[in-house]
Chain A
Amino acid sequence: MTDIALQKTEARESGIVRFFKGVALLRESRVGIAGAILVLFWVLMAVLADVFLALGLLFPPNSIFVPLMEPLSEFIAEPGQSFDGLGGPVEEVCSLITSGANEGKYYCGTFWLGTDMLGRDLWSRLVFGAQRVLFYAPIATIAAYAVGIPMGLAAGYKRGKTDDILSYIGNVILAFPPMVLFVVIISVLGSSGVNVILAVTLASAPGVMRIVRGITMDLRNREYVFAAETRGEPLWRILLIEILPNARGPIIVDAMLRMGYVIITIGALGFLGLGLPPPDPDWGGMITEFRAMIIAFPYMTVVPCIALSSLVLGFNLLADGLREVSLRD
């Protein structure tokens, strides 16, 4: 065996090292990096939102300040004014302006993206909106996989009756245009965070099942599965230990795509007024809230549009990059 020495170096790798090596492969796809940066940006914002709030870098999302401030305008307060969410009287928390036209007034920060009709800071609402969507979307996606993977494994491996029944259930659900299904479910259950997750899970699980079923049907004919069968392994072991780990590549790629779509869905429900209840910021809700004023104040609507699209784009690019990398060698 001439290659023993050569292969020795790569023989000893723990699972963690291999995972990071896999992530590192992504650097070979420019598209993938762009996606990762976009996603990471919003994830960081969402995670650190409360820290920023404590540091005074963000305003509380539901506090009402000055309505209709254009983007990049400064928050100038008259002495004696007080605002909920500023944490105290203007004199204490803001800095006194000592020269210029606003001399004697107080500078309390900048509305980077302006304020909405009600006078809430858009940038802060955007960041807390990210927090909200990045809480609900992963839960809904994971829930869809938790339901879809076992169904797909069972249908793809057992075939026959099991497959017929599971596929039939899937087909019935997939026969609905997704938004119709959401509208029907939400109008029966009412709109709440849990119901949004439920609806998304119900609508996405059949799609997950189809993908997992396809991969399983391919993998079940591999000889290592055959070997496991000939040594009488129990069903769960064949499905979870022999088949599932080898399906992880396409599943991860699909999960990224699906995450993007779930974000779109949650946004759409918010947009249609069927989603998460106000007043907490929700991107879809923000888009629809002031769209009647779109001609007069376009930024109020456009800003959340761009935010949502950029996060979805991030996941889509990430999926594309991962697929590109996984198809190599």
Chain B
Amino acid sequence: MRSKNREFGEVILECKKLCISYFTRAGEIPAVIDFDMKLHQGESVGLVGESGCGKSTVALAIMQYLGNNGGIVGGEIVYRGRNMSEMSEEELRQLRGNEIAMIYQEPMASLNPSMKLGRQLMEVPLFHEVGVTEAEAAERAEHVLASVKLPDPRRVMSSYPHQISGGQQQRVVIAMALLSNPSLLLLDEPTTALDVTVEAGIVDLIAELGETFNTGMVFISHNLGLILETCDRVNVMYSGEVVEEGRVDEVFDHMRHPYTRGLFGCIPLPGADKTARPLVPIRGQLPLPHQRPRGCYFGPRCDFFQGGRCDQAQIPMHDLPEQPGHSVRCVRWNEIDWSTYNPEGVSTEVIEPGPEVLHIRDMRKYYEQHDNSIAALIQGKRTRYVKANERISFDARESQTVAIVGESGCGKSTLAKVMMGLETATEGEIVFRGNDVAEKAVETRSPEEIGSMQMVFQNPFDTLNPSHTVGSQLARVIRKFGVESDPDKVHNRVMELLDLVKLPRDFARRRPRQLSGGQKQRVGIARAFAGNPSLVVADEPVSALDVSVAAAVTGLLMDIQRQYRTTLLFISHDLSLVRYLADRVVVMYLGNIVEQGTTDEVFAPPYHPYTEALLSAVPIADTSIEKKRIILEGVLPSVVNPPKGCPFNTRCPRKIGDICETEKPPEIEASSGHMIACHIPLEELEAVAPVIVQVDKSDETPPPEPARENAAE
């Protein structure tokens, strides 16, 4: 979190009653409604909300870049006292990239693929300052690359974007934004496309640079934890409106809007005790922009909704008298008694696991890659191996949830493919209910075998075939697995499945495009459970969903699993979520298991150094948490050419010496069933302090501070 009592300069940007609309064939669609914001020199304001809440639109409006079909329909954006809508194209050009710079979500897409990075950087001074020579521009570009901590700036200058990693690309984009020393920086989900350990490095860099350059920042994110780490103030947005605004600590500790409260209830916090603070989904889903209700847009999903008051006129912002600068868009802001509000959360009841269902021993999966290059021909090394999975061993019991955690490229998806029979293992065994299926491709498995091991997929937008109705897709699965064959019985079973995932029976006749992301994912779960499986592999089932919907889908998946006593393999990159639902956790890195144990064991010392780094990298939206900062250096090695010895040795902050580079680490058994693959002696690992610590804040909760300097303006 940013230091609390910083002083800020003058106001540089102000949005007054800003309204932005897009004009489509269906008519005008308001994207942002009645948006107010003030930003001071050096201050950092967060815009947080779920998809479609209008947060990115605000950034593009500030840039005056809304495309052909978007426009500001009300209010104004004032930059240093001047209304930006009245500026000429040339004046805007002078501001863009010079005084106002932007950092984007997808670094790869944001860089020109056919121009050298150096040239792309040099353009900024060359087109904004008079009399800059090529050599000066190059020198400055190189300098700024060094200041965003890119190793070997000279090499980066002469590279094309595809030659460097995603994290490095984002650093280049940041360097490009900083090159002209802007007074305002807009960051649109700058780390969403990156792995969590890479994200941690970028977030650190942004926070540091913001302070050094005293830049005003607008930080857009869906992740409350990131906002806490980077921002001074926060605007919580819902369906085009700001519903709550204030200083980060005030909003996080004393939220007043039911949506803000709901949002916090949905986010898994890795430090929290999962039974004391269960996940509480918000019911329903975000309204589509042209289907917003009257009055409060959150009304239909709110537990405190009062007909006649909440569904009348547009709701204005109310200032909280005890906390100046903290305001909330709710008519009932001072009448809700939160202390008696105890919504039902996702059940965390622990079930006694049954007998062992899955037993994986020393499973390896290598892909052959034919190298047809001339060099390879000469050396005679035609075939290379991609070591996607290296000696995987773990077990799972009936009605147990085993989480497999790791970042991109760790081999978790390959593991799923091998289990499902889409690939066969190169070596080792996968014993499922007594049969070894490691080398049994899906074509050779019986329908019954296939039906008993099913999968829930990641992407709601292509998990269902857009050409067929929901009902026919479910019916196909039921028939295929031989559950039922009589048409009436199949139909009944489809209805039962829809009931199971809490969707109306009417949905059977719909096509996927008529469903929202969360609804599609529910159908995906129904499909997986159609054959009464004893094992379900869920590959990041909620990572593409908005948090409020994700919590509900997670809850549903867990409920069904308990009801059927199904074993669940939950593949995820999100440690916080895993903490809530898994009984056991398997941590993977570069195709290897580096640590496994019960959830409590993995989340407490002794840690594998990678687990430790991973835990520290997760942004946590809780002001009462303090955590260690561990930033991993270097880039993820390629699986084609993995490091010798310990796979993590190239980035490990706790590397003890040459042994890490030469020898495979032994598996240390920290306690029964808790394995850590590391060369560091157990005693040393046990001595490591916990990454996440809950600090008792009861005595230091500050009374509302008197008006700060800036608030007076």
The reply to whether the CB of B628 lies closer than 8 angstroms to some CB of chain A is no
- A279 CB within 8 Å of chain B: no
Q: Does B625 contact A (CB under 8 A)?
A: no
The interface centre, meaning the residue of A4, A7, A245 with most chain B CB atoms within 10 A of its CB, is A7
Q: How far does the alpha carbon of A230 sit from the alpha carbon of B443 in the complex, in Å? A: 9
Q: Which residues on B sit within 8 Å (CB–CB) of A280?
A: none
Beyond A4-B506, A11-B509, A246-B465, whether A227 also contacts B285 by CB under 8 A is: no
* 8 Å CB contact of B462 from A1, A222, A328: A222
> Which of B450, B465, B466 is close to A231, meaning CB atoms less than 8 Å apart?
B450
A32-68 contacts to B, CB under 8 A, are none
Residue in A1, A11, A224, A328 whose beta carbon sits within 8 Å of that of B463 in the complex: A224
Q: With an 8 A cutoff between CB atoms, is B25 at the interface?
A: yes
Is B455's CB under 8 angstroms from A230's CB? yes
Tell me, rounded to whole Å, the shortest Cβ–Cβ distance linking B208 to chain A. Answer: 39
Number of interface residues of A (CB under 8 A): 26
Q: Is the interface of A mostly helix, strand, loop or mixed?
A: helix
Residues from chain B with a CB closer than 8 A to the CB of A2 are 284-285, 287, 293, 300-301
Residues of A close to B503: CB separation below 8 A: 1
Shortest Cβ gap from B525 to chain A (Å): 12
Given contacts A1-B519, A6-B291, A12-B509, contact A226 B457 (CB under 8 A): yes
**How far, in Å, is B162 (CB) from chain A's closest CB?**
20
Report the separation of the CA atoms of residues A310 and B512 in the bound assembly, to the nearest whole angstrom: 40
**Assuming the A-B contacts A2-B300, A2-B301, are A232 and B467 also in contact, with contact meaning beta carbons closer than 8 angstroms in the complex?**
no
**Which of chain A's residues 225-274 have a Cβ closer than 8 Å to chain B?**
226-227, 229-233, 241-242, 245-246
Residues of A within 8 A of B477 (CB): 231
Q: Give the residue name and chain of the A residue nearest to B446 (CB).
A: A232
**B300 partner residues in chain A, CB cutoff 8 A:** 2
B596 interfacial by beta-carbon distance below 8 Å: no
Question: Are A223 and B510 in contact, CB atoms less than 8 angstroms apart?
Answer: no
Q: Please measure, in the bound complex, the distance between the C-alpha atom of A223 and the C-alpha atom of B450, giving whole angstroms.
A: 17
Residues in B with CB closer than 8 Å to A232 are 421, 442-443, 445, 447, 450, 480
B:450-491 near A, CB below 8 Å? 450-451, 454-455, 457-459, 462-468, 477, 480-481
Contact B457 A223 (CB under 8 A): yes
Residue pair B504, A3 in contact (C-beta under 8 Å): no
CB nearest neighbor in B for A12: B509
Option from B284, B285, B466, B506 in Cβ contact (under 8 Å) with A11: B506
B510→A11 contact, CB < 8 A: yes
Is B422 among interface residues, defined by CB-CB distance under 8 A? yes
Docked Cα-Cα span, A6 to B300, in Å, equals 14
Asked if B464 and A224 make an inter-chain contact with CB atoms under 8 angstroms apart, the answer reads yes
**How many residues on B have C-beta within 8 angstroms of the other chain's C-beta atoms?**
43
Does residue B328 face the partner (Cβ distance < 8 Å to A)?
no
**A10 part of interface (Cβ distance < 8 Å):** yes
Interface: B527 (CB within 8 A): yes
Complex alpha-carbon distance, A222 and B288, angstroms: 26
- State which of B291, B422, B450, B458 has its C-beta within 8 Å of the C-beta of A3: B291
Q: A2-B300, A226-B457 are in contact. Are A246 and B422 (CB under 8 A)?
A: no
CB-CB < 8 A to B437: which residues of A?
none
Task: Report B497-531 CB contacts with A as 1/0, cut-off 8 Å.
Answer: 00000011010011000101001000010010000
The answer to whether the Cβ of B420 comes within 8 Å of any Cβ in the partner chain is yes
Q: What is the 8 Å Cβ interface bit string for chain B, positions 1-30, against chain A (1 contact, 0 not)? A: 000000000000000000000000100000
Q: A161 within 8 Å of B by Cβ?
A: no
Residues of B within 8 Å of A245, CB to CB, are 465, 467-468
Which residue on A lies nearest to B453, using beta carbons? A230
Is A8 on the interface with B (CB-CB < 8 A)?
yes
Note all chain A residues with C-beta closer than 8 A to B455.
Answer: 227, 230
Inter-chain CA distance A109–B519, complex, in Å, is 68
- Whole-angstrom CA separation of A78 from B302 in the bound complex: 93
Distance (whole angstroms) from the CB of B106 to the closest CB of chain A: 19
Q: Are B519 and A230 neighbours in the complex by a CB distance under 8 Å? A: no
State the Cβ distance, A308 to closest chain B Cβ, in Å.
36
Taken together as a complex, chains A and B put the C-alpha atoms of A195 and B254 apart, in Å, by 82
CA distance A149 to B514 in the complex (A): 29
Contact with B along A1-41 (1 / 0, CB 8 A): 11110111011100000000000000010000000000000
- B506 near A8 with CB under 8 A, answer yes
Given contacts A1-B504, A2-B287, A7-B514, contact A230 B465 (CB under 8 A): no
Additional 5 contacts, C-beta under 8 A, given A4-B506, A223-B463, A230-B455: A2-B285, A11-B506, A224-B463, A230-B454, A231-B480
Partner-A contacts on B (CB < 8 A) = 25, 284-285, 287-288, 291, 293, 300-301, 420-422, 442-443, 445, 447, 450-451, 454-455, 457-459, 462-468, 477, 480-481, 503-504, 506, 509-510, 514, 516, 519, 524, 527
What are the nearest 6 A-B pairs in CB distance?
A245-B467, A223-B457, A224-B465, A222-B462, A230-B420, A223-B463
What are 14 A-B contacts with C-beta separation under 8 Å? A1-B503, A2-B285, A2-B293, A11-B506, A223-B459, A223-B462, A223-B463, A224-B462, A227-B455, A229-B422, A230-B455, A232-B443, A232-B445, A233-B480
- On A, residues with C-beta under 8 Å from B are 1-4, 6-8, 10-12, 28, 222-224, 226-227, 229-233, 241-242, 245-246, 328
